[in-house]
């Protein structure tokens, strides 16, 4: 690699933290008047959703760090909604939100809708299939958002014990990282660009389009880097994460959605929005990466969030937060 390129990439590499940099006391001090929503997208997550909601309620809602805890139920056919409600979350059916935009399954559509139904100045998302959930997975992501004035987006990363602790998952290491290295090298430095534990200031999130399916994570990162630069992104070490491990067959469509999203951000003609993955001896799988518009372009959103352009924390709050955290950060 030529030296100039290396310098450029190092300077732009995302700032890295550890969840232990952000003890609850520091976060509560830094929070000021900033409100925080946590939204869990869930599709048939009955085995895990109850413990996640209970842990968040006990550690973060009751202590005042999190103001709102929502589960967005995406057409579950199991007891996800009932279990989440009993454990103390407000449950919203994805199908009831913005139905005029189509029922649209898929993770990205759910995250997009969660911006409309949540109220917080900061929104944090967390996958609902985590088996070893600990509330530091959410408070860690919140850390840089509450304590660092320039950070607009914060992404969790972790070791995967099922993978010998090495790197990301298969789709991350074989698809996302090589393509990012080629086309958006600042993002190849993220340890887990596809992780489901991340969040941002509403003022930034509401300006981004959301890819409907599994391309959502990579689409948000690329659009943010292009408009604001990698210096507004932080990554936070969340220790270990265990979730549902998918078969290679299941990962093909996910990998294709990621490729579609990255390629279409290089040149819209490189991949169609809707494509078919051919699998010899099996039915082809349709993979989509259609986009929902930035929420600030949606009339219903502006009605529900009339102050949306003013939801960024007040300048004085940011300065307070930055000065109170400076001493304890590495
Ligand atoms: N598979 C799937 N997951 C969804 C959908 N909508 C929301 N989700 C949730 O998105 C999160 C991540 O999904 P998962 O399948 O575990 O993705 P992976 O971790 O990247 O393999 C989980 O909490 C799902 O319940 C959907 O339409 N399909
Ligand atoms: Mg998962």
Residue ranges per domain, the chain?
9-246+295-324
Q: 3-class SS at 26?
A: helix
- Separation of alpha carbons 215 and 254, rounded Å: 8
Burial category of 272 from C-beta neighbours within 10 Å (exposed 0-12, middle 13-18, buried 19 and up): middle
61 DSSP 8-state letter: I
Q: Is the CB of 212 under 6 A from ligand 1?
A: no
- From the CA of 107, which ligand is nearest? 1
Instruction: Kindly list the protein residues that place their beta carbon closer than 5 angstroms to ligand 2, a single-atom ion.
Output: 129, 243
Which residue in the block uniquely carries the two structure tokens 């109170």?
A: 324
Tell how far the Cα of 43 is from the centroid of ligand 1, in angstroms: 6
Answer yes or no: are the C-beta atoms of 202 and 123 closer than 8 Å. yes
Q: Which of 255, 200, 252, 246 is nearest to 223 (CA)?
A: 200
Distances in Å between the Cα of 84 and the Cα atoms of 53, 54, 78, 303 are: 7, 9, 12, 28
The answer to whether 21 touches 329, Cβ cutoff 8 Å, is yes
Q: Which residue's CA is the closest to the ligand 1 atom numbered 27?
A: 106
Does 216 sit in the ligand 1 pocket, CB within 6 Å?
no
Check if the beta carbon of residue 154 is closer than 8 Å to that of residue 126.
no
Render each residue's pLDDT in the chain as its tens digit; 330 residues.
344 444 444 555 679 999 999 999 999 999 999 999 999 999 999 999 999 999 999 999 999 999 999 999 999 999 999 999 999 999 999 999 999 887 666 899 999 999 999 999 999 999 999 999 999 999 999 999 999 999 999 999 998 766 565 667 899 999 999 999 999 999 999 999 999 999 999 999 999 999 999 999 999 999 999 999 999 999 999 998 888 888 998 999 999 999 999 999 999 999 999 999 999 999 999 999 999 999 999 999 999 999 886 444 444 444 433 333 333 322
Q: Yes or no: say if 197 and 136 are a contact pair by the CB < 8 Å rule.
A: no
CA-251 nearest atom, ligand 1? 21
- Is the distance from the beta carbon of residue 45 to the nearest atom of ligand 1 less than 6 Å? yes
Q: Is the CB of 144 under 6 A from ligand 1?
A: no
C-alpha 245/C-alpha 162 separation (Å) is: 9
**DSSP string of 112-159, one letter each residue:** HHHHHH---SEEEE--S--SS--THHHHHHHHHHHH-TT--EEEEEEE
CB of 129 shorter than 6 A to ligand 1: yes
Helix axes 216-228, 248-266, angle to 10 degrees: 30
β-pairing, 233-240 vs 210-211, is unpaired
Atom of ligand 1 nearest to the CA of 244: 16
Whole-angstrom distance, CA of residue 102 vs CA of residue 95: 9
9-246+295-324 topology per CATH: Spore Coat Polysaccharide Biosynthesis Protein SpsA; Chain A (3.90.550)
């Amino acid at each position: 690699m030529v030296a100039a390129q290396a310098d450029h990439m190092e300077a732009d590499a995302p700032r890295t933290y550890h969840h232990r940099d952000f003890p609850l006391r520091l976060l509560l001090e830094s929070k000021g008047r900033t409100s925080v929503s946590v939204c869990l997208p869930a599709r048939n997550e009955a085995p895990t959703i109850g413990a996640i909601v209970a842990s968040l309620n006990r550690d973060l809602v009751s202590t005042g760090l999190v103001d709102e805890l929502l589960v967005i139920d995406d057409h579950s056919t199991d007891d996800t909604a009932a279990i989440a409600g009993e454990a103390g979350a407000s449950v919203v059916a994805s199908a009831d939100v913005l139905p005029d935009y189509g029922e649209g399954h898929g993770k990205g559509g759910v995250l997009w809708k969660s911006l409309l139904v949540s109220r917080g100045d900061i929104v944090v998302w967390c996958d609902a299939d985590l088996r070893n959930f600990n509330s530091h997975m959410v408070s860690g992501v919140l850390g840089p958002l509450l304590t660092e004035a320039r950070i607009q987006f914060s992404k969790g990363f972790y070791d995967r014990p099922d993978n010998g602790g090495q790197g990301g998952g298969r789709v991350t290491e074989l698809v996302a990282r090589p393509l990012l290295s080629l086309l958006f090298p600042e993002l190849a430095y993220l340890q887990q660009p596809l992780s489901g534990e991340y969040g941002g200031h509403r003022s930034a999130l509401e300006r981004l389009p959301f890819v409907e399916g599994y391309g959502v994570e990579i689409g948000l990162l690329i659009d943010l880097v292009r408009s604001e630069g990698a210096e507004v992104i932080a990554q936070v070490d969340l220790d270990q994460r265990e979730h549902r491990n998918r078969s290679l067959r299941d990962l093909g469509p996910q990998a294709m959605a990621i490729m579609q999203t990255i390629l279409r951000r290089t040149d819209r003609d490189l991949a169609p929005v809707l494509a078919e993955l051919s699998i010899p001896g099996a039915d082809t799988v349709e993979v989509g990466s259609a986009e929902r518009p930035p929420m600030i372009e949606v009339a219903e959103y502006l009605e529900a969030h009339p102050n949306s352009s003013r939801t960024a924390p007040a300048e004085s709050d940011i300065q307070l937060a930055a000065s109170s955290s400076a001493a304890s950060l590495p």
